[in-house]
Amino acid sequence: MGRSRRWNFLSIFSIVVAAILALVAISRIDVVPLESRDEVRLTSSSRALNIDPKQLPPSGWSTLRGDLLNASEAQVDRIALDNAPYWAQVGVYANTTSELDLSIPSYASGGYIWMTWGESLQRYLEAEGVSINQRFSFLNTLTSSTQPPSSELTPVGDGAKKLANGDYYQLFTYRGQYLIDQANFRRFPFMSISLPLFIEPDDNDGSLNYKTLRLDPDIRNSGIGFNARILGWLNQGWSIAEYRHQYATNFGQGGDESDYSVVLFEISFGTSSWASVWRLLLPLVVLMSMVLLVFKVRADEQDARASIPVTVLLTLVFLQQTYRADLPVLPFLTFLDQVYIVSYIVTLAAFVLVLWIGRRYADIEDIEDPIAKAALLKHLHRLDDTWPLLVTLIGGSAIAICWITIPNVASFSIG
């Protein structure tokens, strides 16, 4: 008996040492991401937010990108807005949203975009010999080798028309597939996702930079149509605002780094909590219930006891691979990943305990002292009775800690 305990201790010690060495090795080879200096910041102009504020903290989704301007920066920005020689008002109305693909992530959308601009910008366009849609582009358009880009602005009608007040107006349609730059995958499957549309001036000499051209979002007329929805997701609202896009380059033109005014229109969608529970968490709860009840199997049926954790482990691997196939390759663990890790640990602990208890029942046959035999049997029965309560308390606490410690930020960003 003493020799067996000594070997058990050495085995546990070697496993702990190996785990520590593995953690040290992984930490040494882990890649630290490089932060880009290319960013967007909210400007001092007005913005529209058609989202219930009560939904923002629970969902972990924010309508803001980058850092906010402080008071002095906002004052300087308002002066620059008044002094900009060119201006254009941009409105967006999304008729459809579809083809949400979390593995990229991307989505498809179509609708209308209209622009209103002044005489000074019209003179610039005439001097360049271009139309206004040739000076704007979508920053997050996706293209592929098999499908050419189809998200260019398509004019509706014969071209720009002059309004009674002297301004110019033109309506366009758009249709394409766009990259999603912000999604809170850390809370998966209880997550929100933003479907953005970045509209920015596209010039070749810096004549339409942030100091020269400012975009004003049409917050009154922008919006979404009744087909702007995605099956299986709940629409949380939309927002539109002007941002200052600060590039980390001057594009080889000399001088300071370039920055441009950009209008960001985005629609927020969230998952249904109840649907996520029934679809992804209920099968996991059923599996863990089998692990909790493993010691309710008769003690003399050791093979049946040992087979339950093994079967549960294989099923856990299958279930996890199934839901991970719908997600992109993430550099962190989602909430559901952490729940599965807790489940793996509980299942492994159940398997080890089954083996240990099986050995103890085998040792009982060699014990001649009836008092010692009765004490060991009582101890083993106590383990059988306390296992479900112990696992429920420890596992539930671990899952609660995983949820509480999730960073309340958008956890997938390309900017």
Radius of gyration of the chain (CA): 30
Q: Which two tokens stand for residue 304?
A: 């049946």
Q: How many CB atoms lie within 10 A of CB 371?
A: 8
Q: Which two tokens stand for residue 68?
A: 């906010």
Averaging pLDDT over each range in 106-115, 202-211, 352-361, 364-373, which range is the top one? 106-115
Mean pLDDT of 275-299: 85
Q: Report residue 411's pLDDT band, with 50, 70 and 90 as the boundaries.
A: very low
Helix axes 302-324, 335-364, angle to 10 degrees: 170
Instruction: Tell whether the model's pLDDT for residue 391 goes beyond 60.
Output: yes
Give me the chain's average pLDDT, please: 80
Q: Phi then psi for 141, rounded to 5 degrees?
A: -70, 135
Q: Between residues 88 and 22, which one has the greater pLDDT?
A: 88
pLDDT at position 314 is 92
- The structural domains of the chain, ordered by start, are 39-271 (2.70.170.10), 275-404 (1.20.58.390)
Beta 192-201 vs 136-138: how paired, if at all?
antiparallel
Q: Report residue 83's pLDDT band, with 50, 70 and 90 as the boundaries.
A: confident
Q: How many CB atoms lie within 10 A of CB 190?
A: 22
pLDDT at position 57 is 46
Q: Report residue 342's pLDDT band, with 50, 70 and 90 as the boundaries.
A: very high
Alpha-carbon gap, residue 196 to 246, rounded angstroms: 18
Alpha-carbon gap, residue 395 to 343, rounded angstroms: 8
Q: Between residues 318 and 301, which one has the greater pLDDT?
A: 318
Alpha-carbon gap, residue 335 to 403, rounded angstroms: 7
H helix or E strand, kind and range, residue 27: helix 2-29
| Least confident segment among 45-59, 147-161, 187-201 | 45-59
Q: How many CB atoms lie within 10 A of CB 153?
A: 22
Instruction: Tell whether the model's pLDDT for residue 379 goes beyond 90.
Output: no
Mean pLDDT of 335-349: 92
Mean pLDDT of 282-311: 82
Q: What percent of the chain is predicted at pLDDT more than 70?
A: 77
Q: Where are the beta strands (DSSP E) in 31-189?
A: 39-42, 48-51, 86-101, 106-117, 136-138, 154-155, 161-162, 168-179
pLDDT at position 299 is 65
pLDDT at position 60 is 45
Instruction: Tell whether the model's pLDDT for residue 13 goes beyond 70.
Output: no
3-state secondary structure of 84: coil
Alpha-carbon gap, residue 124 to 132, rounded angstroms: 10
pLDDT at position 15 is 67
How does pLDDT run across 151-179, given as a tens digit for each residue? 478 999 888 899 999 999 999 999 999 99
pLDDT at position 245 is 86
